[in-house]
Structure 1
Amino acid sequence: MVGLLVVATLITTALVTSVSVSDRERTLDQLLARTEPLSDAAQNLYVQLSVADATAATAFLAGGLDTGDVRDRYTEALGAAAGEVVRASTGLAAEDAASRSLLSSISTNLPTYAGLIETARTNNRIGNPVGAAYLAEASTLMQSTVLPWAESLHSGKSDDVSAVQRRFATPPWTALLFLVVSLVVLLGAQVYLGRRTRRTINLGFSAAAAAVVVLLGWMLVAGLVSSTATDRALERGAEPLDLLTSSRILAQQARTDETIGMTRRTASDDYEKSYTESVAALSDTLASLSHDETTRTARIDETRTLVAIWSSAHDRLNAALDVGDFDAAVAIATGSAPGDAADAFGRLDAALVEEIDASRTALRDNVQRASGVLTGLTVGAAVTCGLAALAVVAGMWSRIREYL
């Protein structure tokens, strides 16, 4: 009965440990292969849609034919957004109906948006003022309908990434507890057997106990390293990545409001208010990143400086509009000289992209480390507990044989 109890404990421990480690390793691998890339696709989808909207508005500022590079940027952004829809849809789980619905709605409305932009561009070429109305309608569709869908998709997928990391940011305590219980049962059985047989050491039980101690040490080290890497991926990867992505989205929203507002040839109150709110939220988000020692970098400080330069350019732009100097305002809004709005925004967006890439790399590297350290542990736990159980049977058999 003692032998059966010990063997049953070891088999149970093998099952619990193998299932726990296998679940952790499989989920972390799925995070790398599907969940995180899907979150990245959702982020890129939102940004590319915003870029397309802002670029389309920029083409209207000078009037007449838009330049080739502006046209190319718009076309590339819209094409990239369509590509991200495809990329995101291929990574969705079969049961994720909500995300599929969002992607379907986005892909359905993109041709409508593109058609409105083409109508606006055609009217702008021939000097019809109605072109600005079509542009405003297209931008309203994008800002009020399509982008909120994209933001909802990104928010959900970003939460999925963080949820997985929070779930595995602690060691596998259940598996470790079962290993400790198995060791205690083995030692207790050894003491009991020694008293009953008047033999101090049983080689089978000693070998089994040694195997469990080795597995416990392996599990403890691997579990702690895995949980530490997962926690680091959350603190230095997922959390700053979420804030940086939000910052880039806010910057794109502000730039869209700036350009769309200028197509009305005045500092429109609604667009100006939206621009001010977006820039204020952007400044707060970057400040929180800058004040955190784990996320502060030279590029983060640079982005805060660029936001200040952009805000100063925007103030000069509004001042020009207030006195009716639309050409000067356009030059500030679209110019590439240092201190112009377009230059400051472009450098800001580039710096944010670099920080996003760095945070994503940190996230994936740490998740890869968290998963890699568990390699072989699932099979190792089963084999070690199996060998321990055989050692217990061998140790008991030598005693049982004395009664046969």
Structure 2
Amino acid sequence: MAWRSVVAAHFRRTEGKLTLAVAAVLAAAAVAGLVGVLSIGQRADLLTDLAERKGAVNAAAGEFYRALADADATSFSVVLVSGERVAVQQQAFRDDIVAAAAALDYAAKAVPEVTSTARINELTSSARRAYLATGALTTAERLSVLSSLLPVYTGLVEAGWVYSSRVDPVGTSYLNEASLLARETMLELAKDLRDATPPFGVDSFPWFAVAVGLAVVLLLIALQRYLARRTRRRFNIGMVAATVLTLVAFGWLTAASVIAAAHASTSAELSRTRLVPLTEIRAEARNLDGAQARALIFPLIGDLDGLTAQVNRIDGKLTAVRAAPLGTESQYALDAASVVVEQWRAAITRDFSATRPSYGEIAKAITAAEELKDDLDPAIASASREVDQSIQDARAALAGTDVGVAVLMAVAAAAAVGGLWPRIAEYR
């Protein structure tokens, strides 16, 4: 048809080719802007997930871990004290149980998945309970199982106290069964809830977005060379401006993404090397309190070796944390904790040897042993603040970048059109 011939002839001429170039620049700028905005948005969403969903679960798991370890140690201490201190220790235990339940409730609100009642009953059955700590469970399942086991654990402890108050040996059996449930199942489940690994992609380089930005720059350079040959003008101000703006946009995107990735990696590293180990050390120290009390109330062969091994494990983890760079406050706190561990080792050797002090003296020392907890809590709080701050810094690095890239690419497209349009008009 005649109109097709006219159109084809138009686009074979220079003004037609320049019109196609305008369309190509507009399309390329739109695609590049969209890719840039989506790249930043996806990374921001991952950081939000890290800060809110994953961070909430990690924080709740750490609080549950702490509270249950404290409760487990206190459950035995109730049997070692007398008079008004019994009620004080019992209230401390119940306060820790309330804190543990609140932590699970807080984490559950951040996890949208719901575990069916049938699945919970299956997992918490007597046949499955011994294998829970090694089973492959989802985060929602772990939270549901812990919520179901917490009243079971509390009931065993309360029953143990009742029988122990009657000087019935079965009371110790209840307390020991409760402690095994806490240490071998519940604390292990809580430990596995924590995940220091950042979400996939949050700490990666934005290769695709950078490649798209580079492709647009190459397109603009190729068009400038074409204009230089056709119009004999070495530079086109509009096209040069569009090229510079594109470079600025994707340079900003790259820098913001790299900075955010670095902060996300720092957060994960701090969590892995400081926050998680310190939380575990604190819990294991409280477990050792309970193990000492159990060994005094219900002695077993090998108690001294077992307690010494626990101290050695705590000391090894503490040494590893102290080897990393620390702030002055944390360094002092962990140095003091190291001294307490050494004193603890000597006390255990003394208290569970043939020449040990009287039962009453050992009981008093065990129920008063809070030095390590007091030293570790400030260091844990400091590490937690640093982890949170790194995530906040990562999010701050991306703030406004998506809008900035979109605006810069829109201006770049306008500049390119502004540079090409006068050249098109010259041929009309």
Give 2:64's match in structure 1, choosing from 45, 50, 69.
45
2 CA distance for matches of 1:241 and 1:396? 58
Tell me the equivalent position of 1:298: 332
Give 2:188's match in structure 1, choosing from 145, 148, 155.
148
Change (3 A) 1:200 1:170: same
Tell me the equivalent position of 1:196: 230
**Does structure 1 conserve the Cα–Cα contact (< 8 Å) formed by 2:293 and 2:363?**
no
Q: Unmatched 5+ residue regions in structure 1?
A: 336-341
**Does structure 2 conserve the Cα–Cα contact (< 8 Å) formed by 1:317 and 1:333?**
no
* 1:92-126 per-position Cα deviation (integer Å, ceiling 9, x unaligned): 14389722222222222222222222222122222
TM-score (norm 1): 0.87
Give 2:40's match in structure 1, choosing from 13, 21, 26.
21
**Does structure 1 conserve the Cα–Cα contact (< 8 Å) formed by 2:156 and 2:178?**
yes
Q: 1:167 Cα shift?
A: 4.1
**Does structure 2 conserve the Cα–Cα contact (< 8 Å) formed by 1:21 and 1:378?**
yes
Tell me the equivalent position of 2:148: 108
Tell me the equivalent position of 1:158: 195
Give 1:316's match in structure 2, choosing from 329, 347, 350.
350
1:389 partner letter: A
Q: 1:54 Cα shift?
A: 0.9
What value does the CA root-mean-square deviation take over the aligned residues?
2.5
**Identity across matched positions, percent:** 27
1:376 partner letter: G
> Aligned pair 1:59/2:59, yes or no?
no
Choose 21-30 or 97-106, whichever is displaced more: 97-106
Q: 1:238 Cα shift?
A: 4.6
* 1:250-304 per-position Cα deviation (integer Å, ceiling 9, x unaligned): 222222222222211x3x2355444333322211111112222357722222221
Give 1:352's match in structure 2, choosing from 376, 385, 392.
376
Change (3 A) 1:141 1:228: closer
Alignment of 1:90-105 (within 5 A): 90-94=109-113, 98-105=138-145
2 CA distance for matches of 1:83 and 1:389? 54
2 CA distance for matches of 1:174 and 1:364? 29
Give 1:235's match in structure 2, choosing from 264, 269, 283.
269
Tell me the equivalent position of 1:77: 96
> Aligned pair 1:134/2:174, yes or no?
yes
- Select the structure of larger CA radius of gyration: 2
SS at match of 1:147: helix
1 CA distance for matches of 2:255 and 2:159? 64
Question: Matched residue pairs, number?
Answer: 386
* 1:153-201 per-position Cα deviation (integer Å, ceiling 9, x unaligned): 2xxx324xx233x743354343233323322321221121111122222
1 CA distance for matches of 2:266 and 2:39? 21
SS at match of 1:190: helix
2 CA distance for matches of 1:182 and 1:163? 31
Q: 1:358 Cα shift?
A: 0.8
Q: 1:388 Cα shift?
A: 1.4
Tell me the equivalent position of 2:391: 367
2 CA distance for matches of 1:235 and 1:163? 10
* 1:320-371 per-position Cα deviation (integer Å, ceiling 9, x unaligned): 6x66832232233224xxxxxx1xxx12112222111111111111211111
Tell me the equivalent position of 1:118: 158
Change (3 A) 1:238 1:14: farther
2:198 partner letter: A
Change (3 A) 1:95 1:112: closer
Alignment of 1:206-245 (within 5 A): 206-245=240-279
